Amino acid sequence: MKGPHNIWRLIRTGATLERTGAMGVVLEAFSAPPSLRFAAHFLGWPFKWLGLKGDPSLPPATRALTALGPAYIKFGQILSTRPDVVGDELAQQLRYLQDKLPPFPTAVAKQMIELELELPVDQIFSEFSEPVAAASIAQVHRARLADTGREVAVKVLRPNIVKAFQKDIDAFYLAARIIEAIAPFSRRLRPTDVITHFEGVVTGELDLRLESAAAAEFAANTKDDDGFQVPEPIWQLSSRQVMTMGWAEGANMGDNEAIDAAGHDRTALGSRVLQLFLSHALRDGFFHADMHQGNLKVAANGDIIAFDFGIMGRLDEYTRRVYAEILFGFIRKDYRRVAEVHFEAGYVPADRDIDEFARALRVVGEPIFGMDATRISMARVLAYLFDVTERFGMQTRTELILLQRTMVVVEGVARSLDPHINIWQVAKPVVESYIKQNVGPKALVRDLGRTLQVLARFGPKLPGMVEARLVGQDVPQEPVVVKKVLHPAIWMATGAGLLALGVWIGTLI
């Protein structure tokens, strides 16, 4: 339940950060000003004794987040991919959160499997290992199918994880409302809507049947992608709390020493992981939205293997085109066009000055081009970008949250492989290819074709419906899609069709 009782949860969060020593580490990593550091310690110190102790063997930040629970661990996983924002030392500490959390007993996992699949574990698997990876929501066991001998990965949800996540999310709701109340300027960022979006994502991640469906769809979309693999789920051995899929063998994407020892080109891998993400987001509108190092491996042949499909992102075609045009504008240094796209999509209020906005975007983009990645402080870039969005009244777009977050994570993965990577140069061929296919004459013809396909479904009825409308009569049992969409679409499609026909005839003359 979302309510004031969660004040205790927030107090304990601050107390835990203070007790474990994480407060100072986090403030230092984000280069917080001295006044903020003093205020944080001053407010947190009296409640220090209320904080969770955590595992003293872990570094402070990792110790605090693991003690606080799964939602906090998710946040730490994101930060672990951004050494340019939080520093190399803290990022390295937080990588522990990706797949090295304390596991729950194998006996408990077997009980859950038998309960879910309604078969004895020994009857399903001839071999069943201790946990090989444990993260915030589930742990993975390596097993061998009894009937075929095939090696598989068996993912099992943590016991009582749904209740634990709900407790964290309830506290986040309260924190969002407090922030909106005491800092009105934050409302444009829509903190409560962001938490609602996060809750929806997490709810889907807690049902492994949905993850199995996502894995199957993602595998189908990417089956022809060179240098990329997706293990497919085994449906008959998957359920709400258990998922079985093919075993993926390879070096962890976060282990540069192992990647080098295997003879792989980390520069090429860094470019490929970024290009694959952009290709999936733009081409398919369906992308892996949790692509940190713990969810990626490098196979012996150099292929990138993705797994853990609990969080997936989806974009409609219009949003993909807007996103591609924004990226393309930055790549071409056409900041005026980038500004125009923001205004056309309604991301910036129409009463703001478009030229001023274009100039502000130039300040964001220009320092990045042609500069070695090791000399770019993404923390400063993000801080200035935040100032720009505040100045021009841009609201948080909840439909883009996963895309923006994953872009940050994937860029962090690419930088960990190749610190000198230039993200704009790497992104250019993917974005240009998408623009060529989806913005311009080809896209117009394709869109008209789709419109005509929709109209064709009502072909036998259209003459009567149009005639009735022309004389002002109601059409009995008229489909809603016709009433609300197709009437204006008929005239638009007719006009566009005549225009296209005229252009085509003109080319023949």
CA pair distance 337, 333, nearest whole angstrom? 9
CA pair distance 291, 300, nearest whole angstrom? 20
Identify the sign of the CA torsion 237, 240, 242, 247: positive
- Report phi then psi at 239, rounded to 5: -155, -165
Q: What is the pLDDT of residue 184?
A: 65
CA pair distance 289, 406, nearest whole angstrom? 5
Identify the sign of the CA torsion 31, 32, 33, 38: negative
In 3D, which of 92, 96, 161, 70 has the Cα closest to residue 294? Answer: 96
In 3D, which of 61, 74, 89 has the Cα closest to residue 405? Answer: 74
Catalytic residue among 84, 99, 168, 290: 290
Q: What is the pLDDT of residue 95?
A: 73
The residue written with tokens 């986040």 in the block is: 172
Query: Angle 317-331/335-344 helices, nearest 10 degrees?
Result: 160
Q: What is the pLDDT of residue 189?
A: 58
DSSP 289-355: S--SGGGEEE-TTS-EEE---SSEEE--HHHHHHHHHHHHHHHTT-HHHHHHHHHHTTSS-TTS-HH
The one-letter amino acid at 254:
G
pTM over 0.75? The answer is no
Name the H helices within 132-239: 161-182, 191-205, 208-222
pLDDT of the chain along its 509 residues, tens only?
455 566 777 777 778 888 887 777 777 766 666 766 676 666 667 777 777 888 888 888 888 888 887 778 877 776 676 665 666 677 777 777 766 678 899 999 999 999 999 999 999 999 999 999 887 788 999 999 999 999 999 999 998 888 878 777 877 787 777 777 766 655 655 677 777 777 777 777 788 999 999 999 999 999 999 999 999 999 999 999 999 999 989 999 989 999 999 999 999 999 999 999 999 999 999 999 888 888 899 999 999 999 889 888 888 888 888 888 888 888 888 889 988 988 888 888 888 899 998 998 888 777 766 666 666 655 566 566 666 776 787 766 666 667 777 887 888 889 889 988 888 788 889 888 888 887 766 666 666 666 666 666 666 666 666 666 665 666 555 555 455 444 554 445 444 544 454 444 444 44
Name, in order, each residue with C-beta under 8 angstroms of 190's C-beta and a sequence gap of 6 or more. Answer: 395, 396, 398
**Which strands sit side by side in the sheet containing 251-252, from one edge to the other?**
228-229, 304-306, 296-298, 251-252
Specify whether 290 is catalytic. yes
Can you say whether residue 370 is alpha, beta or left, with left for phi > 0 and alpha for psi between -120 and 50 degrees? left
DSSP 93-122: HHTHHHHBSPPPPHHHHHHHHHHHHSS-HH
Q: What is the pLDDT of residue 99?
A: 63
Residue ranges covered by each domain of the chain: 4-99, 102-135+137-222+230-247, 249-439, 447-508
Cβ–Cβ under 8 Å, residues 101 and 135: yes
Distances (CA, A) of 303 to 22, 88, 217, 300, 430: 37, 26, 19, 7, 19
Q: What is the pLDDT of residue 185?
A: 58
